[in-house]
Amino acid sequence: MKKYHLVRRADAKLSRTLIFYAVGILVSLTIGAIILSVLGINPFDYYGKMFTIGLVGNRYGYKSIEGLLKIFVPLLITSLALSLSFKMRFWNIGGEGEFLIGAITASIIAFNSSGMPNFVTVLLMCLAAMISSGIIGIAIAALKVRFNTNETLMTLMINYIMLYVIRYIGETKADWNFFLREDSERPKFGTFPDSAVMAGIPMGQFKLLWSVIIALLLTVIVYVYLKYTKQGYEISVVGDSSATAKYAGMSVGKIVLRTMFISSAMIGLAAALTVSASGTISDTVTNNVGWTGIIVAWLSKLSVPAVFVTSILISILQYGCQAAATQYPAIDSNYADLLQGLILFSVLVADFAANFKIVKKEEAKNA
Amino acid sequence: MLEVITLFLFNIIVYNIPLLYGTTGEIMIEKSGSLNLGVEGTMAIGAVAGYLVGIKADSLLVAVLVSFIASGLVGLLFSFLTVTLQANQNVTGLTITTFGVAFYYFIGNALANSEGGWPRLNDTKLAAQSQAFAIPGLSKIPFIGEALFSHGILVYLGVIIAVLMWLYFNKTVPGLKLRAIGENPAAADSLGVNVTFYKYAHIIAGSGIMGIGGLYMGLNMGGTFEGSNCWINGYGWISIALVIFANWSPAKALLGTLVFGFFNTLRVQNAALAYAFPNALGWLTKIPSHFFSALPFIITLIVLIASSLSSKKKSGEPQAIGRNYYREDR
């Protein structure tokens, strides 16, 4: 007979969770440090470079901040969007595909916008991207609600179908293809006219793009939406138990459709902001936010403030790795992915340790 | 002219056997009620570990064993996190993919930049052992003999695994118990089946099988490492799709590998076919290769939707898939 027994802790203390998480992250950074030392690199030196993202002793430090924000904005919005659907226990892992749909629609407008006012173009790009991504979200949600089709696998397929769509656009020279540069023999994505490029508020040399402000506003809106509105409450009830929601008189199907539309539309918005900020599109435009966003949402336990903080940390990790690569060419961006994986594994263990405890069998019986 | 068709059939098998390994491995895992989205990463780790150790030991047997064990350890991690620690399966699987592919590139780049460089496959015993050989007699069958019966040993191993797995699921008691867990773990538990043990064992075995598929891919690509292109390159994701197409049956996975492999090969060889049969197949060159690449995913999406629409057809999908089993929650 087994002597020990797992029991779910009755009380969930935030401080305990935070301590366990901190230990988990420390353990994964230590494993990362061991890997670095094996390769003959001083881990303290490397981590120093990574976490300061090349700001220290750099005359062009503002460029580092701009680069960091370019990674941060799409990651933050996508993670928020995914948290919305995960809260409802709807496994939307199609962030990549929904992002690509939004990016393609926004680019269609952008490439045909020369001469239009900047504000109008960017607004149109955002709206078009939100609607097109949102429609895909609704379609998947409708199939799930009506026929109980597996949404995890459906969204997974959409990711890859869209990846080949954008590769097709990017690699096909043809008369209809206004996405490509005309002056290049080889197929190559063109750059947007000025009318479609995201503007910003200049602050000295640094330019604060509107996309950053929109992302921050959106964070507040999602927080309020989930915490203080009826619709936000409905999402969490459906997530806890759709049967409860049904008996409480909620229309579960409607809630799922609405939330999936919002979730996918937000990812479309993230895509429009991203292509507009970079002034072009490519088949790597997503920068894997659809996947990373899932990790961020899960690390944050679907809480909006935590998503905000985790997005900053993961962006620093990714951008820091790129920045440090200039001095350590042997270590490329894969190290960031490796660390991300290690952090999630150890946080999953930490999460368990914070929520369960091991007791002896007799004690469990008495309890 | 006939050579073109023989070559086409031959290529369907040579380039798509990793799909068979990935699919049968994933079927084994899903039959235990777990959805592991980490196929791509599991295959990548098995490939790189098996190849590097195998080339050091210069033996195919060692390479196969190491890739099985390395990927099996990834499966152990997945089962520890999802079965014992009750972590979410989707998130754990996706992280295994991110981690595994990054591990592949990280190790590969570190070795390629080191003094010795990336170890080459040329002129090793490992290369000789994994070489294709013609099965006497069978390979002499006109037209299809050479296409079907002159392959490396790992091709036949993949087919044997699929057949044995089908027998295991349908003709043995442990196979029956496994399927019971996938359908309803609480009921199986109450009948005295050790759910935790069964889940661990089959997730580890399934992951190990995927690893051999990864190794096959590495050997098949001549063992050259590229900093930009992973050996696995999407085969893991197609395998997840193929599980659905095969309706969770290892026997149908064999057939599905040929169907998906057909489109995969069409993508590469459409020009050769159009050249050999300009009148009948000339139109092939007009179809963009991206369409063939996307086709497995499009077909799977259609199969997914169609099978959920029809209530009559019996689906092989385990009912408890994707949900963790925690006894106390019963």
Domains of chain B, CATH where assigned: 2-329 (1.10.3470)
What is the C-alpha separation between A70 and A75, in angstroms, rounded?
9
Q: What is the pLDDT of residue B164?
A: 96
Distance from CA of B63 to the nearest CA of A (A): 24
Give me the residue spans of the domains in chain A: 72-296
Q: What does the pLDDT look like over B86-95, one tens digit per residue?
A: 888 999 999 9
Count of helix runs (H) and strand runs (E) in chain A: 14, 4
Query: Looking at chain A from residue 34 to 73, which residues have their Cβ under 8 Å from any Cβ of chain B?
Result: 35, 39
Q: What does the pLDDT look like over B187-205, one tens digit per residue?
A: 999 988 999 999 999 999 9
Secondary structure of residue B218 in the 3-state scheme: helix
Hey, is the C-beta of A161 within 8 angstroms of any chain B C-beta? yes
| pLDDT band (50, 70, 90) for residue B329 | low
Q: What is the pLDDT of residue A367?
A: 45
Q: What is the pLDDT of residue A164?
A: 94
Q: What is the pLDDT of residue A78?
A: 97
CA angle, A172 then A99 then B89, to 5°: 120
- Reported ipTM: the value is 0.88
Hey, is the C-beta of B228 within 8 angstroms of any chain A C-beta? no
pLDDT at B313 over 70: no
Q: Which residue from A218, A7, A206, A147 is spatially nearest to B327, judged by alpha carbons?
A: A7
pLDDT at B9 over 90: no
Q: What does the pLDDT look like over B33-69, one tens digit per residue?
A: 999 999 999 999 999 999 999 999 989 999 999 999 9
Q: Do A341 and B91 touch (CB under 8 A)?
A: no
Tokens of B84: 């014992």
Q: Do B297 and A160 touch (CB under 8 A)?
A: yes
Distance from CA of B112 to the nearest CA of A (A): 9
Distance from CA of B266 to the nearest CA of A (A): 16
Hey, is the C-beta of A143 within 8 angstroms of any chain B C-beta? yes
Q: Which residue from B126, B123, B157, B128 is spatially nearest to B59, judged by alpha carbons?
A: B126
Given a contact cutoff of 8 angstroms between Cβ atoms, the answer to whether A347 and A18 are in contact is no
| pLDDT band (50, 70, 90) for residue B80 | very high
Q: What does the pLDDT look like over B248-259, one tens digit per residue?
A: 999 999 999 999
Tokens of A277: 């900020």
Secondary structure of residue B17 in the 3-state scheme: helix
Most confident range, picked from A93-107, B213-227, B261-275 = A93-107
Write out chain B residues lying below 8 Å of A147, CB-based: 305, 308-309
Given a contact cutoff of 8 angstroms between Cβ atoms, the answer to whether A129 and A106 are in contact is yes
Q: Do B99 and A338 touch (CB under 8 A)?
A: yes
Secondary structure of residue A300 in the 3-state scheme: coil
DSSP state of B119: P
Given a contact cutoff of 8 angstroms between Cβ atoms, the answer to whether B95 and B38 are in contact is yes
Q: Do A152 and B322 touch (CB under 8 A)?
A: yes
Write out chain B residues lying below 8 Å of A298, CB-based: 88, 91
Q: What is the pLDDT of residue A214?
A: 95
pLDDT at B330 over 60: no
For chain B, what percent of residues have pLDDT higher than 70? 97
What is the pTM (predicted TM-score) of this model?
Answer: 0.90
pLDDT at B315 over 70: yes
Given a contact cutoff of 8 angstroms between Cβ atoms, the answer to whether A152 and A144 are in contact is no
Q: Do B90 and A143 touch (CB under 8 A)?
A: no
Nearest to A341 among B86, B99, B234 (CB): B99
Nearest to A160 among B106, B237, B291 (CB): B237
Q: What does the pLDDT look like over B126-174, one tens digit per residue?
A: 888 888 777 777 777 777 777 777 788 899 999 999 999 999 999 999 9
Q: What is the mean pLDDT of each run of 10 residues along chain A (367 residues)?
A: 68 81 92 89 87 74 86 96 93 94 96 90 96 96 91 92 94 88 86 90 86 95 94 89 84 93 97 94 91 91 93 92 81 85 90 80 53
Q: Which residues contact B141 (CB under 8 A, 6 or more apart)?
A: B148, B149
